[in-house]
Amino acid sequence: MNFKDIKFPSRIFITGIDTDAGKSYATGWIARGMIDAGINVVTQKFVQTGNTDFSEDIDIHRKLMGTGMLPEDRLHTTAPEIFTYPASPDLAARIDGRELDLNAISDATDALEEKYGNVLIEGAGGLMVPLKGEYLTIDYMCEHNLPAILVTNGRLGSINHTLLALSALRNAGIRLFAVIYNSHFDKDKIICEDTRNYIRQWLDRHFPDALYLEMPSL
């Protein structure tokens, strides 16, 4: 995939149809494609749970990007909020006994954009993941006017999850920049092919300005 002809927004929020949809790999894959196209870019982990001092998702990004660790990684600018328990940010923060600092996240994004020009922000889980009580990930995206990339795959049930996510984005007034189909989970050829075709056709009809990208198994 050549990204030279794609006009990327300076900030993009990468979300998935579910946990383990392949967001980390998609984020690193897009970032590598942008770098290869001569576009300056950095990635950020929105909220990391299940880790202590470092974000494992940032590690995946850097390996795919081929950059090695960045100074901002060591300073936690690329992962400003890390919680130890692998759960929603809301629950993980309560378990760790501290509040999620949303201002720290947005300030970090500002700093990264100022230096690198483009920031890919990988979310935690899906759109409806609780951040603070009833304040959800999709609320943060809407508040900060972040266009979305939605990562999906060919698992059975993915069409349902994808259309629900697309509907939620539309209802919230969030721009859909792209859908990435993650080929890593392609097990049943019949289901995967039907899923690809259905999602492509849905985008053509309902989101004609959005890109459809297929990511190989990484």
Give the catalytic positions in this structure: 45
CB atoms under 10 Å from CB of 2, counted, come to 8
**Is residue 83 within a helix (H) or strand (E), and if so which, with residue range?**
strand 82-83
CA dist list (Å): 135 to 89, 101, 192, 218? 11, 13, 34, 33
Give ∠ CA 125-87-170 in degrees, rounded to 5: 25
Could you tell me how many helices (H) and strands (E) the chain has, helices first?
A: 8, 10
Q: How many Å from the N-terminal Cα to the C-terminal Cα in the chain?
A: 14
Report which of 176, 203, 166, 184 is spatially closest to residue 22, judged by C-alpha positions: 184
In a 13 Å sphere around the CA of 167, the CA atoms on its Cβ side amount to 6
